[in-house]
């Protein structure tokens, strides 16, 4: 009896070992999610880099696949689909359409993840009464789960951008729970992706707010952990879309990612772009794109650009007729194309693991003045990428000029296009002079430029005035000329802002030339180390307004940070910084510069004093608000 029992136990143990081994082998062939990270079938961390595809055209052709996999080096694509009959055949769901895309991307080497998503009800939900209905959605995902459960490179993105109110609805949780259960009952272990609430933004602050995300507006923070537990495989990934709501500062996104990851959730950015598109007012969201990439790279978060096709003005490349799609690059051998848009440059460098090109040392624009033959020249030197210098129906008689304020040395100019993909210069001339009355010396004559972010370098010049004269424009018809910012560089490497040791502001006192009527918005609120409180002027900023901090004793100052926080537009356009020991009398400014939502000021040399005064030097309709004022020594 003992011998039989021992034999039986041995057999059971052997079978368990085999079962465990087979289970581990099966898992090894699948994508998995462990905590905040996604892992590929080979067991290595998987960070998505790719693009949204489909909708306006068929992108399953051999040419498209070659460009996406081999030229752009994308490892993921996201395919938009609709369930409603009568829709455009390029994205209306049929077995043939989905099979074609899956075979093209997830069925050929190198295998590329293809994320399928349903796009019928952005900003709302599939419900019992909607068309298509919740039942239609359930039927679709049951079928897809059964059909592709043996292909781990097919991921299931339940629906695009659910919900559209400022407070997350429980229906977000209920609907996704139901679909997750349906998919797992079909035997599919594929990755499931759920989009954030309120058009994917997770933000209930409104599009003009930089406030940190509240739990009550975020589906991830409110229901994320609960939803993850409904999946027996724990393979749910949470996808954020970063458009206008995320256009303000890096801190907002960094804070949100930190809170989501602390809940043990794996997060990706499923859409980022340069513009909201021609159907959504064409709002500039290039700062949101820049911020998204910066945070994603630092945190190891996957990201997908919207869109590989240029139909809604989010072009990756340029052409003679305007912005062009990813398959229009003028190089396919792996080297960086020379006809990229601003967005195309960001995406290309990201997918090819390239660092941002070094341009030199940027000249301080505080004293600059801009002029032109038309358009708003000042918009090109205002440190705000949302405003643009633009001339419609431009010609070679037009010009743009900058007075640097004094004679300076430089060897490069940049006309930074940002979202403008088809209004750059193909041929142009650059002149420099030391007198406003003369066009001056020709230092560069550019021909055949195809990059939207136009730049040219030349032998170092010493001059006060720079003039750009166009010769030929990006498009053969409608020759528009526009760019967001004009920058000038000299040779060298930008120095790192010194001062890592932050001074303790506990006993400091702040004052200002004007302040709001509420005590909770007094100047001292800027130095309380609480980003949710602020100092505000309570009125439009005027030239000469000042903000001052008394550090109680002389300190050596190397750097200053003024953070406008959620009041992202409330900063001085131009300002000066003074450091001294007399609160009413200062010498020369230790710094002059342009403001931004988060203004980081690095002094050329350390300044010592008890008082720091920041003086606004230009009228502005916005208030002056400081949520956080910090000093580094």
Pair (275, 215) in one structural domain: yes
Pair (367, 333) in one structural domain: no
pTM higher than the cut 0.85 = yes
CATH of the domain at 187: 3.20.20.80
- The domain boundary residue, chosen from 463, 490, 517: 490
Pair (476, 518) in one structural domain: no
Pair (174, 321) in one structural domain: yes
- The domain boundary residue, chosen from 432, 459, 490: 490
Helix, strand or coil, per DSSP, at residue 472: strand
Pair (175, 305) in one structural domain: yes
Residue 12 lies in a domain: no
Quote the pLDDT of residue 395. Answer: 96
Residue 31 lies in a domain: no
Quote the pLDDT of residue 322. Answer: 85
Residue 495 lies in a domain: no
Quick check: 413 and 466 in contact, CB under 8 A? Answer: yes
Longest CA–CA separation in the chain, Å? 111
C-alpha to C-alpha distance for 337 and 326, rounded to whole angstroms: 11
Residue 30 lies in a domain: no
Q: How many domains does the chain have?
A: 3
Quote the pLDDT of residue 515. Answer: 84
Residue 90 lies in a domain: yes
Pair (333, 368) in one structural domain: no
Residue 343's contacts (CB-CB under 8 Å, 6 or more residues apart) are 273, 274, 286, 289, 305, 314, 315, 316, 419, 421
Residue 36 lies in a domain: no
Per the listing, tokens 């005064």 go with 613
C-alpha to C-alpha distance for 381 and 484, rounded to whole angstroms: 8
C-alpha to C-alpha distance for 537 and 514, rounded to whole angstroms: 5
Consecutive sets of 10 residues in the chain, 633 residues long: mean pLDDT of each? 43 41 54 98 98 94 96 98 89 95 94 98 98 98 98 99 96 99 99 98 78 93 99 99 90 93 99 88 92 96 96 91 93 96 98 93 96 97 92 97 98 95 96 94 98 97 98 91 97 74 94 84 93 89 97 96 87 96 96 92 94 96 93 93
Tell me the residue range of the domain where 337 lies.
Answer: 41-351
- The domain boundary residue, chosen from 351, 378, 402: 351
Quote the pLDDT of residue 497. Answer: 67
Quote the pLDDT of residue 137. Answer: 99
Helix, strand or coil, per DSSP, at residue 288: helix
Residue 274 lies in a domain: yes
Quote the pLDDT of residue 493. Answer: 86
Helix, strand or coil, per DSSP, at residue 21: helix
Pair (486, 514) in one structural domain: no
Q: Which residue intervals of 29-169 are DSSP H helices?
A: 62-66, 95-106, 134-148
Pair (398, 524) in one structural domain: no
Quick check: 447 and 460 in contact, CB under 8 A? Answer: no
Region label for 264, one of left (φ > 0), alpha (ψ between -120 and 50) or beta (otherwise): left
Residue 428 lies in a domain: yes
Where do the DSSP E strands lie in 21-88? 32-34, 37-39, 49-53, 76-81
Rounded to the nearest 5 percent, the helix, strand and coil shares of the chain are 25, 30, 45
CATH of the domain at 551: 2.60.120.260
Pair (252, 326) in one structural domain: yes
Pair (231, 339) in one structural domain: yes
Quote the pLDDT of residue 332. Answer: 96
């Amino acid at each position: 009896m003992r011998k039989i029992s021992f034999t039986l136990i041995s057999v059971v143990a052997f079978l368990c070992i085999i079962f465990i081994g087979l289970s581990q082998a099966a898992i090894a062939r699948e994508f998995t999610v462990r905590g905040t990270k996604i892992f590929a079938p080979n067991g290595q961390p998987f960070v998505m880099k790719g693009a949204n595809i489909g909708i306006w055209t068929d992108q399953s052709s051999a040419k498209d696949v070659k460009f996406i996999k081999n030229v752009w080096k994308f490892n993921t694509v996201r395919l938009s689909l609709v369930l409603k009959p009568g829709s455009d055949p390029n994205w209306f769901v049929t077995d043939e359409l989905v099979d074609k895309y899956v075979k093209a991307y997830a069925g050929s080497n190198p295998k590329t993840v293809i994320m399928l998503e349903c796009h019928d009800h952005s900003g709302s939900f599939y419900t019992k009464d909607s068309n298509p209905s919740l039942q239609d959605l359930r039927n679709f995902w049951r079928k897809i789960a059964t059909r592709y459960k043996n292909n781990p490179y097919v991921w299931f993105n339940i629906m695009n951008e659910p919900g559209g109110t400022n407070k997350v609805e429980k229906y977000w949780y209920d609907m996704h729970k139901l679909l997750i259960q349906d998919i797992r009952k079909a035997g599919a272990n594929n990755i499931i992706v759920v989009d954030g609430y309120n058009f994917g933004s997770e933000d209930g602050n409104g599009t003009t707010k930089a406030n940190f995300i509240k739990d009550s507006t975020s589906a991830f923070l409110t229901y994320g952990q609960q939803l993850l537990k409904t999946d027996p495989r724990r393979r749910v990934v949470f996808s954020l879309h970063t458009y206008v709501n995320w256009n303000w500062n890096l801190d907002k996104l960094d804070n949100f990612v930190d809170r989501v990851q602390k809940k043990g959730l794996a997060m990706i950015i499923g859409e980022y772009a340069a513009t909201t598109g021609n159907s959504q007012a064409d709002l500039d969201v290039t700062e949101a794109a820049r911020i998204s990439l910066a945070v994603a790279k630092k945190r190891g978060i996957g990201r997908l650009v919207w869109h590989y096709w240029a139909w809604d003005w989010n072009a990756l490349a340029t052409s003679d007729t305007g912005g062009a799609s990813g398959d229009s690059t003028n190089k396919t051998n792996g080297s960086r194309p020379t006809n990229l848009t601003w967005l195309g440059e960001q995406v290309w460098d990201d997918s090819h693991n390239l660092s941002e090109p070094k341009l030199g040392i940027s000249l301080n624009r505080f004293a600059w003045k801009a002029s032109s033959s038309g358009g708003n020249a000042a918009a090109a030197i205002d440190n705000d990428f949302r405003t643009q210098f633009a001339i419609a129906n431009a010609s070679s008689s037009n010009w743009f000029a900058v007075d640097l304020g004094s004679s300076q040395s430089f060897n490069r100019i940049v006309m930074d296009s940002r979202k403008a993909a088809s209004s750059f210069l193909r041929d142009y001339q650059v002149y420099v002079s030391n007198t406003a009355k003369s066009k001056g010396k020709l230092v560069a004559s550019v021909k055949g430029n195809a990059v939207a972010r136009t730049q040219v370098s030349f032998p170092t010049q010493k001059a006060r005035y720079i003039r750009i004269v166009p010769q030929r424009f990006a498009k053969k018809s409608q020759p528009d000329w526009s760019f967001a910012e004009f920058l000038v560089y000299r040779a060298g490497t930008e120095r790192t802002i010194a001062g890592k040791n932050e001074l303790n502001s506990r006993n400091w006192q702040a004052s200002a030339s004007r302040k709001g009527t509420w005590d909770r918005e007094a100047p001292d609120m800027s130095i309380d180390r609480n980003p949710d409180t602020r100092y505000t002027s309570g009125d439009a900023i005027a030239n000469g307004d000042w903000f001052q901090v008394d550090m109680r004793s002389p300190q050596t100052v190397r750097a200053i940070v003024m953070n406008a926080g959620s009041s992202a537009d409330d900063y001085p356009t131009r300002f000066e910084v003074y450091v001294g020991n007399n609160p009413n009398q200062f010498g020369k400014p230790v710094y002059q510069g342009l403001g931004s939502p988060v203004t980081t000021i690095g002094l050329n040399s350390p300044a010592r004093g008890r008082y720091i005064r920041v003086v606004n030097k230009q009228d502005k309709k916005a208030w002056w608000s400081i949520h956080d004022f910090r000093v580094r020594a």
